[in-house]
Amino acid sequence: MQYEEIVALLPDFLDDKLSQRQQQWVSDSLDSSEELRSALASLKDLRAAHNQWNDEDVPQWHRTAFAVRPKARTTNWMNWVSLATSMAAIFLVMFRIQVVSNVDGYQVSFGDQINKVAFKKQADIFLNNWQTEQVSYLEHRFLEFENLQLQQNQQILKTTLQYNQDQRHKDLNQLASYFVDQRTQDITQSQQQYRQLFDSQTEDRKSIETLYASLEK
């Protein structure tokens, strides 16, 4: 085990990294052991070989083969192109579109020449029908609007009348109540005045009687 310990120190011994005591110990051990000297020689050979090692370049390799993220889903524009092409073809067939090259250049026509009049007639019929439908629709909408407006006005009038009636009824009740209260107060006040007058008359009469009595005497 001691050999192994010393051999383990040999790299640091070569680099002069050991303490003075360890350096001396290893040095003495080397002097006395052929085996250790052999180990040191091997170590030197290895180090010499390694010092001359030239790092080799890494061959080409795919560094992201395993790290690559799933590709973002791209729009398959080819599908859209094919759809657009199909729609355009259907459109061309339905409207009988013709592209004619003549001396004036290219001419695009819808339907053949024979059907132009018929197409115009059909278009007029369609437009007339559409106009009639639109007029009818608008009239219908106006009527609906008028009816709605009428209903709303009636509702407002009814509500207003009801409110006025309620208010008037309330006012009359207040007036009657006030009249009764006032009348009661007036009667009470008259009674008091009559009583005072009666008392005064009685007192006057007593005074007259007293005066009369004194005169008679």
Q: Binding residues for another protein, per CB under 8 A?
A: 1, 3-5, 7-8, 11, 35, 38-39, 41-43, 45-47, 49-50, 52-59, 61, 63-64, 66-69
Q: Is the Cβ of residue 17 or residue 116 nearer to another protein in the bound state?
A: 17
Q: Which residues contact 14 (CB under 8 A, 6 or more apart)?
A: 40, 43, 44, 47
Return phi, psi of residue 116, to 5°. -60, -45
Shortest distance (Å) from residue 127 CB to another protein? 59
Q: Is the Cβ of residue 30 or residue 43 nearer to another protein in the bound state?
A: 43
Q: Is the Cβ of residue 52 or residue 79 nearer to another protein in the bound state?
A: 52
| Euclidean distance between CA atoms 155 and 129, whole angstroms | 39
Shortest distance (Å) from residue 38 CB to another protein? 4
| Euclidean distance between CA atoms 166 and 170, whole angstroms | 6
| Euclidean distance between CA atoms 11 and 99, whole angstroms | 92
Shortest distance (Å) from residue 138 CB to another protein? 60
Shortest distance (Å) from residue 24 CB to another protein? 20
Q: Which residue has the tokens 């050991």?
A: 18
Q: Is the Cβ of residue 14 or residue 23 nearer to another protein in the bound state?
A: 14
| Euclidean distance between CA atoms 214 and 52, whole angstroms | 172
